């Protein structure tokens, strides 16, 4: 039996959760590929976006955020992500993903706990905030 409280005007949580999960995957695919165009497609281009890379101050506005991707993609060591503990939550036209980014690079690896916030923009979900925090190695 369908739970009427779990469905919304856009087709229900399972459809939205799948779409948000796909948008989140597109973010990490763009990151691994160092593809600025694909990364640009994932994000909303607005002053309200923000990004906190591990060890960085919070960047605000699309100009600053896009500049950070340009700088990171020019770095010497590409990254591979193995995502674990991914949980998608949807509330109307907003959604967030909590995930552990298990990083593999030529320089070693580590884990970053991340939160990615998306908003619905027509038929797409656009990233408006990314926050990554390094997890201490035990």
pLDDT digits (tens, 9 = 90+) for 110-137: 999 999 999 999 999 999 999 999 998 8
Name 11's Cβ contacts closer than 8 Å, sequence gap at least 6: none
* Amino acid 5: pLDDT: 39
* Amino acid 1: pLDDT: 37
Name 136's Cβ contacts closer than 8 Å, sequence gap at least 6: none
136 and 106 Cβ atoms separated by less than 8 Å: no
66 and 51 Cβ atoms separated by less than 8 Å: no
* Amino acid 13: pLDDT: 60
Query: In angstroms, rounded to a whole number, what is the distance separating the alpha carbons of residues 47 and 129?
Result: 11
Residues 3-54: pLDDT tens digits? 433 444 444 468 999 999 999 999 999 999 999 999 999 999 999 999 999 9
Average pLDDT over residues 68-92: 93
Q: Would residue 85 be called left, alpha or beta, if left means φ above 0 and alpha means ψ between -120 and 50 degrees?
A: left
* Amino acid 137: pLDDT: 82
Rg (CA), the chain: 16
Query: In angstroms, rounded to a whole number, what is the distance separating the alpha carbons of residues 16 and 112?
Result: 25
Q: Which CATH number fits domain 13-134: 3.10.20.30, 3.40.1010.20, 3.20.20.140, 3.10.450.50?
A: 3.10.450.50
* Amino acid 14: pLDDT: 85
* Amino acid 78: pLDDT: 84
Query: In angstroms, rounded to a whole number, what is the distance separating the alpha carbons of residues 121 and 108?
Result: 37
């Amino acid at each position: 039996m369908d739970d009427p409280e779990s469905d919304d005007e856009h087709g229900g949580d399972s459809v939205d959760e799948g779409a948000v999960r796909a948008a989140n995957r597109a973010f990490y695919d763009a990151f691994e590929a160092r593809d600025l165009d694909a990364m640009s497609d994932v994000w909303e281009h607005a002053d309200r976006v923000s990004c906190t890379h591990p060890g960085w101050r919070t960047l605000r506005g699309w100009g600053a955020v896009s500049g950070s991707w340009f700088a990171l993609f020019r770095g010497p060591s590409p990254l591979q992500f193995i995502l674990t503990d991914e949980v998608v939550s949807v509330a109307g036209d907003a959604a967030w993903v909590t995930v552990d980014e298990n990083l593999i690079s030529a320089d070693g690896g580590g884990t970053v706990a991340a939160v990615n916030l998306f908003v619905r923009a027509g038929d797409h979900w656009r990233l408006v905030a990314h926050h990554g925090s390094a997890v201490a190695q035990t």
